[in-house]
Chains A and B, each alone.
Chain A
Amino acid sequence: MPAQTINWRNTGAFFSKYGIYFAFVLLAGTLAIWEPPFRTLGNLENILQQISVNGILAVGMTLVIITAGIDLSVGSVLALAAVVATSFAKADDDGHANHALIVPLAMGVLAGLACGMVNGVLIAKRRLAPFIVTLGMMTVARGLALVYSQGRPEINLSTAYDAIGDGLAGPGGIVMAAVLAGIFILHFTRFGRYVYAVGGNELAAKVSGVNTDRVLIGVYAIAGALAGVAGIVESSRVMSGAPSAGEGYELNAIAAVVIGGSSLNGGVGTMAGTIVGVLIIGVMNNGLDLLGVSSYWQQVVKGAIIVCAVLLDRKSRN
């Protein structure tokens, strides 16, 4: 038999480069075998529904993180967008809306976009640290959501609005569209290339004639607008526009991006990685639920997995 030579170094490099994908397959495969309820169609739909909001947020977060930034405000912006959108989607007695469906949708996205633009302008033009600016926006947007809604969730929503988040088609379709748009922007456009250039070396990008301010404002605006979309999906899914929605969602989005291999130092990351990061978090939450692990312990596991993912990633880079 001819001896097949295996280059272990290359094999190792291959595994560490695509390790996160293998980890996902391993995780999903194990659950599918051990936990039959996991592989039912209903459960898969359930997972997709649950990850839809985080998926939408993570697409924007990926762009932000590749520019070496961070957006802590997306959870609060989601809530603001939700209360703004739902205020235009109130139902009259027979469930009909006062406005055409496009109105609440547009208002929600615009609210998110506006917050994102403010973030971007402060970060790009005033040279403030993204962490500080978006931490401020996190509080401001939450406050505005409470002011706007007077602290009360809007639960009397039109049937048309409720239908958006109903079942799989709506949330699933929207997250798919967001992901495809994200892939297109990041990997197939000039803007996407500039996102990497700004994150890799902002000064060099500037010298090369890149309008770095515009790129930075662009990514925060996209992240904000997507937070608006997520607010619509979330409020429609739970049939309530609550000012308390989305609390802590920014951390889930950041976790997905980081698990997906993006570097918080900027310049490195892919949309595909982020998608797998979102899937891993989603499948893990679902799996732990199915296995009956308490939600307290779930947090411990999730945190540990984030740190391990980054550790593995660091190792593979050396």
Chain B
Amino acid sequence: MPAQQSTEDFLLKMEGVSKSYSGVPALQNVRLQLQKGEVHALMGENGAGKSTLMKILSGIVQRDCGEIFLEGRQVEIKSPKAALDLGISMIHQELNPVRAMTVAENIFLGKEPCYPFTGVVNRRKQREMTRELFREMEITIDPDKVMAELSLAEMQLVEIIKAVSYRSRIIIMDEPTSAITGREVARLFEIIRGLKARGMAIIYISHKMDEIFRISDTITVLRDGQYIETRPAKELDHDTLVKLMVGRKISEMFPKRTKTSDGEVIFEVNGLTRRGLFENISFKVKKGEVFGVAGLMGAGRSEVMETVFGLRRADAGTIKIRGQSVRIKSPADGIQNRIAFITEDRQLKGLNLKASVRDNVTLVNLKSFSLFGQILQSGKENAVVDAEIERMRIKTRHRNQIVRTLSGGNQQKVVLAKWLLTEPEIIILDEPTRGIDIGAKAEIYKIIAQLTERGATVIMISSELEEILGMCDRVIVLYHGRITAEFARADFNQENIIKAAMGNWSSN
């Protein structure tokens, strides 16, 4: 519980907020209390009501009931513009700048400084004001640079400065680190601390536990649309927080695996190189293993695995499967060699969101449901799809439901079902649990464990250390396109893996 304080001490107070969408409650009697100069993490699984609450606060949707106080005064937030006027801005997960405009133009979009009585934009002043804002926050980005030339991390900083330029008192950040890497995250956190020092309050939404504990002062947990608890971050630890979010203890988050690898090397990569992306990558994976590939985003992990699967070409290197040299030049070759590749971004590379569950599940395997290789046998196909929906426990009304309408966790299960239908021997999973809630995560870990029990081999790329530590038998760590370390389960140590991922690790 927060220390006893009177209403006036809170910058923002939301009380008894409820919201239903066509009769289905998304929020019930939720409250949130925000102090000046704090980073307040809003936690909960997908569907817990975080985004609905934030949409209410930023004026995108209207609450059914409840009260909102800003510095003790009751306010109505009827539109996004009203929220901005009250000093509340939101930085969405998917950044959406006008790419063809300059940094300064983006920041002052809709509030350009003009020459008096003309409506002509005073570009010089706009540039100077942008420089001034950047100087305050110690950011070095050229205001005249075109937005499209910036990195994602820089775009994010521009968005934050834009929020600051509205004289915001409250900035909502929705998954701000989903697309940026370790060093950029550190930079972002510096900026956030700077904002804090200036008395702004940050509402921070993220699925990444380690970040939550690094940056937040206070944590509020929602579950199933209801308020659960608010506590100082110092008083919480990882397990307690998970328990609050899930409502039950997940001590068994990572399933115990009874069978371990029998030592036979099934997959061997030697000297794999692609200039500019990765160099001299060599590793061996044993049958039945869960083999981890750790490292920061941009270290070349996905690129290596995409090459192994046939999505990219290598300049040099060999691949052996069960001791046999193989040439893999296209995904079709990878599939032929019984490799499955469950990509990092399921919406971008994993699924056809416009198609049905059935059409997605059987896409890789379609030939086996085709007479003469072409004519579809829908009876056979439907039966198999129904069995997969059952086996993977995909929550869908019908096999013809369009995949776009499924939840993230269920979409990921559709991708898994699609690949497991090929009965792969080597399964590459690239960030298999990104952006899905804890319950679905546990289910996916269980599926991975079941796969290895049945003799399949799993290669798992992950940025989540706890996942690597919890699931893998061995792990290699990549840094700047090179392998910097390899650890066996017995030697797993969070600190060493982080060091190797940052490039400062030598094995002796």
- Interface on A for B, CB 8 Å cutoff? 188-194, 196-197, 199-201, 203-211, 266-268
Contacts and interface: CB of A to CB of B under 8 A. Distances in A.
B498 interface: no
B375 to A, nearest CB: 6
B502 to A, nearest CB: 30
Interface in B321-366: 330-332, 334-335, 341, 343, 348-355, 359, 363-364, 366
14 contacts: A188-B375, A189-B375, A190-B374, A193-B366, A197-B363, A203-B349, A205-B352, A209-B334, A209-B335, A210-B363, A211-B332, A266-B354, A267-B354, A267-B355
B257 interface: no
Nearest to B352: A200
Contact of B366 (A190, A199, A203): A190
Given A201-B352, A209-B335, A193 B363 contact: yes
Interface residues of B, number: 27
Contact of A197 (B335, B355, B373, B374): B355
B367 interface: yes
Contact of A207 (B311, B367, B375): B311
Contacts, number: 75
A190 B354 contact: no
Given A189-B376, A209-B364, A204 B332 contact: no
Given A188-B375, A197-B363, A268-B354, 9 more contacts: A190-B367, A190-B375, A203-B349, A204-B343, A208-B331, A209-B330, A209-B335, A211-B330, A267-B355
Given A191-B374, A193-B366, A207 B331 contact: yes
A123 B359 CA distance: 25
Contacts of B353: 200-201
A190 B365 CA distance: 10
B370 interface: yes
Nearest to A189: B374
A206 B331 contact: yes
B376 A208 contact: no
Contacts of B13: none
Contacts of B418: 208
B350 A193 contact: no
> Which of B331, B351, B352 has the most chain A CB atoms inside 10 A of its CB?
B352
B331 A197 contact: no
Given A190-B366, A190-B373, A207 B352 contact: no
A190 B343 CA distance: 23
Given A193-B359, A196-B355, A207 B350 contact: yes
Nearest to B363: A208
Contacts of A199: 354
A235 to B, nearest CB: 32
B183 to A, nearest CB: 28
| B contacts with A: majority SS | mixed
A266 B355 CA distance: 11
B376 to A, nearest CB: 6
A190 to B, nearest CB: 5
Contact of A201 (B334, B351, B375): B351
Contacts of B335: 209
Contacts of A194: 366
B346 to A, nearest CB: 9
A9 B330 CA distance: 47
A206 B352 CA distance: 11
A145 to B, nearest CB: 34
> Which of A193, A199, A210 has the most chain B CB atoms inside 10 A of its CB?
A193
Contacts of B311: 206-207
Nearest to B362: A193
Contacts of A205: 352, 363
A191 B332 CA distance: 16
Contacts of A190: 366-367, 370, 373-376
A204 B361 CA distance: 12
Contacts of B351: 201, 204
A205 B353 CA distance: 12
B374 A200 contact: no
B366 A207 contact: no
A205 B331 CA distance: 10
B233 to A, nearest CB: 39
B373 A204 contact: no
Contact of B376 (A188, A196, A207): A188
Contacts of B330: 209, 211
List the 8 closest pairs (A to B, CB-CB), nearest first. Answer: A200-B352, A267-B354, A200-B354, A209-B332, A209-B335, A201-B352, A209-B331, A208-B364
Given A193-B359, A197-B363, A267-B354, A204 B376 contact: no
A190 B372 CA distance: 10
> Which of B332, B353, B354 has the most chain A CB atoms inside 10 A of its CB?
B354
Contacts of A201: 348-349, 351-354
> Which of A189, A192, A204, A268 has the most chain B CB atoms inside 10 A of its CB?
A204
B325 to A, nearest CB: 21
A268 B352 CA distance: 11
B344 to A, nearest CB: 11
A291 B375 CA distance: 46
A267 B352 contact: yes
A266 B352 CA distance: 11
Given A188-B375, A190-B374, A204 B359 contact: no
A17 to B, nearest CB: 13
A293 B288 CA distance: 75
Interface string B364-393: 101100100111100000000000000000
A192 B375 CA distance: 10
Contact of B359 (A196, A207, A211): A196
Nearest to B306: A207
Contacts of A197: 352, 355, 359, 363
A203 B332 contact: no
A271 B505 CA distance: 60
A191 B372 CA distance: 12
> Which of B311, B363, B375 has the most chain A CB atoms inside 10 A of its CB?
B363
B350 to A, nearest CB: 6
Nearest to A199: B354
Contacts of A191: 374
Contact of A200 (B334, B355, B373, B375): B355
A200 B353 CA distance: 7
Nearest to A192: B376
B13 to A, nearest CB: 35
Given A188-B376, A193-B363, A197-B363, A207 B341 contact: yes
Contacts of B359: 193, 196-197
Given A190-B370, A193-B366, A207 B355 contact: no
Interface in B297-315: 311
Contacts of A188: 375-376
B354 A204 contact: no
Interface in B65-96: none
A203 B359 CA distance: 15
